[in-house]
Structure 1
Amino acid sequence: MKVLIAILTLNFFFVNIIWGQTPRRYSPSEMRQDVDSLIKYLIEAHPNPFYRYPKASFFKDVFRVKSHLNRNLDKMDFYLRIAPLLGKLDDGHTDIHIMQFYDSLNPIILPYNVKLSTKRPFINCLGPYKGIKTALPTGAEIISINNISAQKIVNDIIDLNTGESRLFRAEFGATRFYFYLEALYKANGLYHVKYKHNGIVKDITLKGIRKNILDELAKNQADGNVHSDPVYSLRLLNNNQTAVIDFKSFEWDGFKAFTDSAFTVIKERHVQNLIINLIDNSGGDSDVGDAFFQYILNKPFTQYAKVLEKNSALLKQRLLEHRLGKPLDSADKALLAKPNGSLDTEYVDKINIGDNPLRFNGRVIVLVNIETYSSASDFAQCFKYYKRGIVIGEETGGLIKSYGDIVTAHLPHSGLALTVSSKLYYNIGANENDWRGVIPDIYSSPDQALQRALKYIDGKK
């Protein structure tokens, strides 16, 4: 089913020479061939890449990019030229990926977490990496870095990201903020930061740290029993009357053990209210959502009404890779026999509810925000459609009608990885024009959503 592949994409120059190596450079002819391959894969595999951005405008952009490829470039600089092409398509699953290559070059990193926004404050400091002594106050509004305004930095990052909204692209870009500072502005590990904190504007100069040093520091922190928060966690509030399950992503690793343990506790403690926290959940495997619904629903359900699939050579290649060394079943053979370029619509059957002695029948509330994406937003939409409880928070960044289920290709000369959506998902309850997120029953800012839910439980609507 639908799997979020949310890999940040961008570029960088300085780190190409940190090991004293001459970076591989590509000729204009090679890069133009790569652009042509990108377009070929996109058109062949995507059900409708121009659902928002006009095809004619896109090809004008392609012509302009190709015409400016008039000198040799390395992989990073080539990436910077072509990444904005896909950003205009408003599909977060269709993307070019370079971060694995970039991180392998031991880059300089500004060791601070930030939040990016399309409105002021454009850049907000969330604090340093673990183990780093802070010099920039947590909560500070960053006004500029190296005399580049925060607003420009955010807009530049948005242009180099893919996603269904500008806010999504900004917030997703925050996860690799260090990369942009070097890729776009060649900071070379030195950052002159102007910031505002408690109403006072100050200047500070920060120095970056090599990735290998930060990795070693993180390892030492882990050895000292300092662990990051788990993907799934349970906490009890209100004298054990309310349980909160925090989901960071929809992953199978540890899911079954956690849910059985959590719902055993919930049953033994006679918990009356369950809050499922999907705030900042970027998604994952929607089958995890199906499995979780077995603990809270009591009637057949489906997260998707229908799925439109584009048959392509890349889709068939993915199937054969997954089936390598295994016999093909009748469904596999049927897919391989379909003509490339054809479209199929699959209407999704409901999933039956199995016997589950741990099923929870009390009140359920789901918390969401703009950073609830992909399979997490699919879960929230299904929950709302079947009226299992109420949704509190912001409209989700993940849409109830969206593209996904990526196929992968590599550009022939640069080797850049390209992912392309192969399917269009209609969440249950979605109509043809529903290019929107899940609408909450009660609006709340993310930082107040839990308290708003507790007030609702207390009857303070």
Structure 2
Amino acid sequence: MKITFLTICFSLLFCLSLVGQTLTPEQLQADFNRFRTALNEAHPEMYRYTPKPAFDSLFTATAAKLNRPMTQHEFYVTMLPLLVALRDGHIKWIVSGRDEHYPFFTDKLFPLKLYFLGEKAWVVGSYGNTNVPTGAAITSINGQSISAIIRKLLPNMTFADGDRIGGKYEDLNQYFSGFYATHFGGPDAFTITYQTGNDEKSAMLPAVTEKTIKDYVESHKPAVQPPFRVTFLDNGGSLPQTAIVTIERFYTDKGEQDYSTFLKEAFAQIKQKQIKNVVLDLRNNEGGEESYGVQLYAYLAEKPFRYYDHISVRQKHKFSFPVWTSKLYLKMRWLVVKKRGDGYVFTYQRGLKTVKPERDAFHGNLYILLNGNSFSVTTEFAARAHADKRATFIGQESGGGYALNSSGIFAITQLPNSKIDLGIGMFGFHMANLPNDLKPGQGIVPDHIVEPTAEDVLSGHDRAMEYTLNLIQGQKAALTKSE
């Protein structure tokens, strides 16, 4: 799902940034009307979580604010509540020509890399020359408490389906400097207070540039590994017959290993080695191609299954606004989009039919690792496995919604005056055969909640994996004892 948007984004013609320029109320209202029209015509289920009367009231309140000249930055922030109300983590709101996480500031950015958990944040790196030690807990920035800053940012972030906040925390962990600048501004320096042990200290830190941050991120990337891999464990006999299957993403880049070939060979090995326990690591997997999730589950299902119940779309007619989307879809929608009840459904997807398990499907003990970045296709796959009671889940609640999400092919329009790109996932993927006790907007909640600490991040300690392997070892010991 994510790859579809990234691919078509490269085809857009970027415009010069309007940062600092003023838009008239008439221009703002024109962009507002384009925004509303695009959502009404392209989003498959705009009122999924926020009822139409509440959304209409929010539209009215937002339109009323556009009665004075605004900068592009002010307009961008003013419109965010409407995007958040969708509670759709796939929605895109990007200033043309700019990195989506640094839309207005390429300098004057916060110079520390932070790790967030709850309403606290710890230093896990530095983008500039600072003397703040790693592991220190940040208590305030420029006179505002870190808890107040978190409470300000979270409601204005969109990387979340339903009521999820895990994806928002993962975004803060990676892009806090950008979010802070967008909502609090970019000063030349930052005054912080921090704690190490029982001592509280303060420091003034010079701002850094976007390039400095990206150079730091690039230099601290882990060693490149294949995105799909399987590891067989022994650990001196304490963990025999255990395999770890890692799927970093559900798409492949040109020249990479073939996904289908990987699955075929990996599960043939698992069968040949008589593996009893498989740990499937899907942490930080933000998704990709829907069919990849269906294909993976066919190697893990214990019986024939339906993956999706239905895939909703808003309409099959021509849009009334300028839009960039898949030309193939526009040509084929008359064949693949059908009327159902009061709406429409997309019918061309393998997961809509009953799928049989593969010949070498694994039927042993399955453990699935998730976190807040387990999103989109990853959450769909996890929902299928969870609903079928196929696995034990460890880690943190998924970033994607359990029951459904909006993604697939995107419709992209550029607002004519502010030059902000609005990207809308046009398909609503509804999972089949769901539990009856699901709460609206929930994600996949692990059976065992395991959250990394700042110390884990700094040391590279994989707490969730360690917990999982201990769980396997403990269950093996309990089984041996009972026998």
CA contact (8 A) 1:307 1:345 kept: yes
Picking from 139, 142, 165, the partner of 1:143 is 139
Q: Equivalents in 2 of 1:167, 1:338: separation in Å?
A: 35
CA contact (8 A) 2:241 2:276 kept: yes
Alignment partner, residue 449 of structure 1: 464
Picking from 403, 406, 416, the partner of 2:405 is 403
1:266-345 → structure 2 map (5 Å cutoff): 266=270, 271-297=275-301, 299-312=303-316, 313-314=318-319, 321-322=327-328, 328=331, 331-334=332-335, 342-344=343-345
Mapped pair 1:185 → 2:189: no
- Per-residue deviation at 1:31? 0.7
CA contact (8 A) 1:194 1:201 kept: yes
CA contact (8 A) 1:400 1:434 kept: no
Q: CA RMSD in A?
A: 3.8
CA contact (8 A) 2:96 2:420 kept: no
Q: Equivalents in 1 of 2:357, 2:212: separation in Å?
A: 50
Q: Equivalents in 2 of 1:3, 1:273: separation in Å?
A: 31
TM-score normalized by the length of structure 1? 0.79
Q: Percent of pairs identical after alignment?
A: 22
Question: Aligned with 1:76: secondary structure?
Answer: helix
Q: How many residues get paired?
A: 435
Paired AA for residue 365 in structure 2: R
Mapped pair 1:155 → 2:177: no
Question: Aligned with 2:288: secondary structure?
Answer: coil
CA contact (8 A) 2:397 2:444 kept: yes
Q: Equivalents in 2 of 1:160, 1:286: separation in Å?
A: 28
Q: Equivalents in 1 of 2:377, 2:414: separation in Å?
A: 26
CA contact (8 A) 2:96 2:419 kept: no
Q: Equivalents in 1 of 2:149, 2:337: separation in Å?
A: 46
Q: Closer, same or farther in 2 for the Cα pair 1:242/1:197, shift >3 Å?
A: farther
Alignment partner, residue 32 of structure 1: 29
Q: Equivalents in 1 of 2:179, 2:324: separation in Å?
A: 32
CA contact (8 A) 2:119 2:150 kept: no
Picking from 88, 104, 111, the partner of 2:85 is 88
CA contact (8 A) 1:5 1:93 kept: no
- Per-residue deviation at 1:77? 2.2
1:50-449 → structure 2 map (5 Å cutoff): 50-98=47-95, 101-102=98-99, 103=102, 107-108=106-107, 109-117=109-117, 119-121=118-120, 123-128=121-126, 135-162=131-158, 163=160, 164-165=162-163, 167-168=165-166, 170-174=168-172, 175-215=174-214, 221=219, 227=223, 231-239=227-235, 241-253=241-253, 254=257, 256=259, 258-259=262-263, 262-263=266-267, 266=270, 271-297=275-301, 299-312=303-316, 313-314=318-319, 321-322=327-328, 328=331, 331-334=332-335, 342-344=343-345, 348-355=352-359, 359-405=361-407, 406-430=410-434, 434-435=439-440, 436-445=442-451, 448-449=463-464
Paired AA for residue 376 in structure 1: T
Q: Equivalents in 1 of 2:359, 2:130: separation in Å?
A: 52
Q: Closer, same or farther in 2 for the Cα pair 1:242/1:136, shift >3 Å?
A: farther
CA contact (8 A) 2:164 2:443 kept: no
Q: Equivalents in 2 of 1:22, 1:417: separation in Å?
A: 15
Structure 2 unaligned spans of 5+: 7-15, 453-461, 479-483
CA contact (8 A) 1:141 1:197 kept: yes
CA contact (8 A) 2:139 2:145 kept: yes
Alignment partner, residue 456 of structure 2: none
Paired AA for residue 56 in structure 2: F
TM-score normalized by the length of structure 2? 0.76
Q: Equivalents in 2 of 1:100, 1:368: separation in Å?
A: 33
CA contact (8 A) 2:103 2:182 kept: no
- Per-residue deviation at 1:184? 2.0
CA contact (8 A) 1:91 1:403 kept: yes
Cα distance per residue 1:394-429 (max 9 Å; x no partner): 443322222312432222221211123433322232
Structure 1 unaligned spans of 5+: 7-15
Q: Closer, same or farther in 2 for the Cα pair 1:177/1:440, shift >3 Å?
A: closer
Q: Closer, same or farther in 2 for the Cα pair 1:370/1:227, shift >3 Å?
A: closer
Alignment partner, residue 41 of structure 2: 44
Q: Closer, same or farther in 2 for the Cα pair 1:215/1:281, shift >3 Å?
A: closer
Q: Closer, same or farther in 2 for the Cα pair 1:444/1:25, shift >3 Å?
A: same
Q: Closer, same or farther in 2 for the Cα pair 1:140/1:37, shift >3 Å?
A: same
Give the stretch that moved more between structures: 302-311 or 291-300.
Answer: 291-300
Q: Closer, same or farther in 2 for the Cα pair 1:140/1:218, shift >3 Å?
A: closer
Give the stretch that moved more between structures: 286-295 or 262-271.
Answer: 262-271
Q: Closer, same or farther in 2 for the Cα pair 1:293/1:22, shift >3 Å?
A: closer
Cα distance per residue 1:83-131 (max 9 Å; x no partner): 12221232222342238525587712435433334x332x3333346xx
- Per-residue deviation at 1:35? 0.9
- Per-residue deviation at 1:145? 0.8
- Per-residue deviation at 1:448? 4.0
CA contact (8 A) 2:189 2:205 kept: yes
- Per-residue deviation at 1:173? 3.8
